[in-house]
Structure 1
Amino acid sequence: MSGEAEGRAHPHLEERRAVWEALSMMYLDADVASSREWRIAALAASPYSPTEMDAILRDEVHPVCFPNLLSPAGEWSGFDPVWLEQAIRNRRNGWGSRLLAAISRTLPVAFPREEWEATRQGVIALRRGAGPPQR
């Protein structure tokens, strides 16, 4: 996990779980834009800044969820929250794992860049009181 010893409990685990779940929804084999408003509201309610959410997405959620976007029969209804937490907390932080995750972020099919940017901008707008951007 970002900046933490592997396996050590996160001090704000409940808040982190909600962010993990919201971000993981971008890795489903489905129309993820349809869950954008829910995702924006969940992320805006978190204590994390957009920059912190960037790191959570890149370093915690992406490495365990991106294989779903590469699978022809990927998960489409949502990741099991228990599995997601265990996968993130138990992820090996070896150089091979980090390299694979970094390479996958350059593949258009493996990193939800456009959806994340729309979600991120929606979080910023909602926190400013402007509401989520219209599609």
Structure 2
Amino acid sequence: MNDPARESVWLALSELWLDTELDAADLAAIAGTLAISGLPVDELEAIYRLEVAPVVWSNAWATAGVWDGFDPDWLFEACRRNQRRRHGLWHRLRCRVLRRAMTYATEDHWQKIRVQL
């Protein structure tokens, strides 16, 4: 089932892992997309950590990562899969163990975005 608001959130958050430098305007645009979604901040945090990060985090570790945007169809399919299993013990444990690796490159930006929500 497609959820356009959630898909917009997935796409916006995935920008944090692109192989590009984000400036204050980029972070404000991401925060604006998240705010428009109408989702509570706690839910946006869960989406960041449990749905998007597990899909795209390896891009931050790549020598020459994706810089122009992730394929939306691929991203949405993978994030939907994580959305379905995010309450499962195995998925949550995996995300907890890998949390630092998955978010080391994005955590500062995420905190700046949270302040804007």
Once the 2 structures are TM-superposed, how far is the Cα of residue 74 of structure 1 from its aligned partner?
A: 0.7
Q: What is aligned with 2:14?
A: 24
- Unaligned stretches of 5+ in structure 1? 1-8, 124-135
Greater radius of gyration (CA): 1
Distance in 2, matches of 1:72 and 1:21, equals 22
Aligned counterparts of 2:79 and 2:102: Cα–Cα separation in 1 = 22
Distance 1:55 1:109, change over 3 A: closer
Among 84, 91, 98, the alignment partner of 2:75 is 84
Higher helix fraction: Structure 1 or Structure 2? 2
Name the amino acid aligned to 2:17: Y
2:39 alignment partner in structure 1: 48
CA–CA separation in structure 2 for the residues paired with 1:40 and 1:76: 20
TM-score (norm 1): 0.72
TM-score of the pair, normalised by structure 2: 0.82
C-alpha contact (below 8 Å) 2:53/2:103 kept by paired residues = no
Alpha-carbon distance in 2 for matches of 1:122, 1:54: 13
**Whose relative contact order is higher, 1 or 2, with alpha carbons under 8 Å and at least 6 apart?**
2
- Separation in 2 of the partners of 1:16 and 1:48? 9
Query: What residue in structure 2 maps to residue 73 of structure 1?
Result: 64
